[in-house]
Amino acid sequence: MAGPRLALLQLLLVMACGCGAPPTPEAPPPRADTGERAPPPPEADDPPVQGLARYFPLRRGAKWVYRFKDQRPDLREHVVGTALIGSRVCFELRCKQEGSDSWRYLSAGEDGILLWPTFAGLRLGRYENMTPRALLLPPLDKGAVHEWEERGSIQTTNGPGPTHEPTDEDLVIHHVLTIEAIDELVSVGAGRFTCVRVKDATTSKCFGSTETVTWFAADTGPVKWTEKTRYSEIPSVVELASFEPGTGR
């Protein structure tokens, strides 16, 4: 009987000690500090596009191709990332036209769709006295009018003959933004869209007068615009040829 009793005693000891459960792995020893930095956390996906921002769906990866009626080369815009301008997170658009690259910085939220000034200092992190240009402002009511002023800039060079240094008053640009329609049907190369039509009329002693009319479609962005300046009696016309929504990452 010693054999069975001994086996029973060993079984009871095993159960009492918990040795029958899977062993808990031991914590690894502390890692020596090698001076290496931890990898940064992955960048979060862009937030969903809602409200007024739907009229310019800025998400990383979004692409627009625009065609000019005057036979100029196509304009291609691509949201390539984000940039912090002051305290505002803006989307960075790379614009390509016949091998020429430029950049636009836009933000879209309940306070409007805003185009931020771009100049050499912007990419170096200098954002002093920056006033964005409004492309679309709430409320989206037919007949709504918004007025504001921005200060333009001009580069002067020293050359032969008299020069005129513009004053601050000369550089002021006065904007009158009017929502002319909220459900206008527009047909362009990319399709047929129901749009909000907005006119931005500007006046300035230094830059003259301009009139830009833009058609914004929800979940697509600008599908058409016309622009008339003091140098052109016939407005230029630009239409959307194709659009690819962004993935947001």
Range of the domain at 55: 51-151+168-244
Judge whether 208 and 229 are in contact, CB under 8 Å: yes
- Write out pLDDT tens, residues 85-111: 777 889 999 999 988 888 899 999 889
The answer to whether position 15 is within a domain reads no
Q: How confident is the model at residue 158 (pLDDT cuts 50, 70, 90)?
A: low
**pLDDT score for 174:** 93
What is d(CA 52, CA 113) in angstroms, rounded to the nearest whole number?
Answer: 8
- Most confident range (mean pLDDT) of 9-13, 83-87, 136-140 is 136-140
Higher local confidence (pLDDT), 233 or 134? 134
Sign of CA dihedral 89, 44, 96, 210: negative
Helices marked H in the chain: 2-17, 120-123, 168-171
Share of the chain above pLDDT 90, in %: 49
**pLDDT score for 166:** 79
The answer to whether position 24 is within a domain reads no
Report the number of distinct structural domains present in the chain. Answer: 1
What is d(CA 158, CA 179) in angstroms, rounded to the nearest whole number?
Answer: 43
- Write out pLDDT tens, residues 45-61: 777 788 999 999 999 99
How buried is 172 (Cβ within 10 angstroms: 0-12 exposed, 13-18 middle, 19+ buried)? Answer: middle
The answer to whether position 162 is within a domain reads no
**pLDDT score for 119:** 55
> Under DSSP, is residue 6 helix (H, G, I), strand (E, B) or coil?
helix
The answer to whether position 70 is within a domain reads yes
Judge whether 64 and 221 are in contact, CB under 8 Å: yes
The answer to whether position 249 is within a domain reads no
What is d(CA 216, CA 225) in angstroms, rounded to the nearest whole number?
Answer: 9
The answer to whether position 213 is within a domain reads yes
- Write out pLDDT tens, residues 178-218: 999 999 999 999 999 999 999 999 999 888 899 999 999 99
What CATH number should be reported for the domain holding residue 130? 2.40.360
What is d(CA 65, CA 241) in angstroms, rounded to the nearest whole number?
Answer: 5
The answer to whether position 90 is within a domain reads yes
pTM of the full predicted structure? 0.75
What is d(CA 67, CA 73) in angstroms, rounded to the nearest whole number?
Answer: 7
The answer to whether position 116 is within a domain reads yes
Token digits for 180? 């002319």
